Amino acid sequence: MAEAPFRAYEAVFDASPDGIVVVDGRGRISAANPQALRMLGYTLEELVGQPVEIMVPPSVRGRHVALRDGFMERPASRPMGADMELRAIRKDGRELPVDVALRPVGKGEDRFVIAVIRDTTRERRMQTLGTGALRATEEERKRIARELHDDTAQSLAAIMMRLGVLEKTTDEGARARIHTELNDALEGLVEGVGRIARGLRPPALEDVGVEAAIRSQVRTSLEGSGIAVRLHLEPVADRLSEEAQLVVYRIVQEALSNVRRHSGATTVEVCLSVEGEGEHAHVVATVTDDGRGFDAEGEFLAGAGLGLIGMDERARILGGRLMLSSAPGEGCMVRLRIPAPSGSSRSANPEASGV
């Protein structure tokens, strides 16, 4: 009868979404569940028998030994490091932000501690994204307000002043010149307002779809950069909601911006295609460059930049996935895959062209 509860506990141990490590009274690891092994990058054989400090960053290992000994003398169930930012270290040397809960079990020589470890990388990213998004929103409002004040408002004030002059001018030649000035000023004003509007939401998305909007964005982003472009764009707009089209566009836009600012690439390829059929169909967008590349896994484990986090979260909102593939000296590929189920299967020949 006792075997059934044991098996249930064992199943919970193996299936837990959090890492679980069991440490004996000497501070040695005696067991670890699959999630802990994935989180830390070890095999079970590599971890069992090692001091628990193998999971602790070198800078705090000495202090951790004293804390661990103190806990063993006065064990109690509690979160570890309350009000502290805890970090675990992976086998490859990368650090992870974590929360740890400790549970002592047994007594005397049979005492051991169960440590439940939660990777808080995503939570930290969300905090970063939330803070960054608020900051970005305020900066965007400042930019728009500045453009409206420095450009639009001042242009309107100048037009009003010229209209006042026009009312008082009786010379036909002078009136004609003022009319020309007013027309030029109004054309500039219309262009300025249009530029602000295009920055907020590209009109091509609604007018001609995401494919044309991406084509236009490629030209805008890489104009004068010297980067050669290859486009392979299948028609996908009719498979995507307006929100989904905007997400695809924004992720491609951010990826192109990163290529121009950071990659040092000579060539970039932008692809838009449909994979699968019916309920299993997905729209896939990729931006691939031949630039200097970077440690993609390290970027995400370290919290990544706000741009990468924002791209990842946009994809998740639609039930999609953003994949980043890069290594130093090997270029970079950003790949977005979002569900686009359709009742009918439609194939399209890729449209390939340069810019």
Task: List C-alpha distances in Å: 204 to 106, 108, 211.
Answer: 67, 72, 9
> What is the crossing angle of helices 242-258 and 210-222, to 10°?
20
> For the domain bounded by 204-343, which CATH number is listed?
3.30.565.10
Please list, in sequence order, all residues whose beta carbon lies within 8 angstroms of the beta carbon of residue 341, skipping any fewer than 6 positions away. 278, 279, 280, 281
Reduced to 3 states (helix: H, G, I; strand: E, B; else coil), residue 82 is: coil
**Count of beta carbons in the 10 Å neighbourhood of residue 284:** 19
Q: What is the DSSP letter of 341?
A: -
- Put simply, whether the predicted model's pTM sits higher than 0.85 gets the answer no
φ and ψ at residue 145, rounded to 5 degrees: -60, -40
- The domain defined by 3-119 folds into Beta-Lactamase (3.30.450)
Helices marked H in 102-209: 121-147, 154-168, 172-200, 203-207
Tens-level pLDDT at each residue, the chain (355 residues)? 455 555 667 787 888 888 999 988 888 899 999 999 999 999 999 999 999 888 888 888 877 777 776 777 676 666 655 556 788 888 988 888 888 888 888 776 677 888 888 887 766 665 555 555 556 556 656 766 776 766 777 778 888 888 888 888 888 888 888 888 888 888 888 777 766 665 666 666 666 688 888 888 888 888 888 899 999 999 888 888 888 888 898 889 888 888 888 888 899 999 999 988 888 889 999 999 998 887 765 554 444 444 666 777 778 888 888 888 888 888 899 999 999 876 433 333 344 444 4
- What is the distance between the alpha carbons of residues 273 and 150, in angstroms, rounded to a whole number? 42
Please list, in sequence order, all residues whose beta carbon lies within 8 angstroms of the beta carbon of residue 229, skipping any fewer than 6 positions away. 218, 222, 267, 268, 269, 270, 354, 355
Backbone torsion region of residue 277, taken as left when φ is above 0, otherwise alpha when ψ lies between -120 and 50, otherwise beta: beta
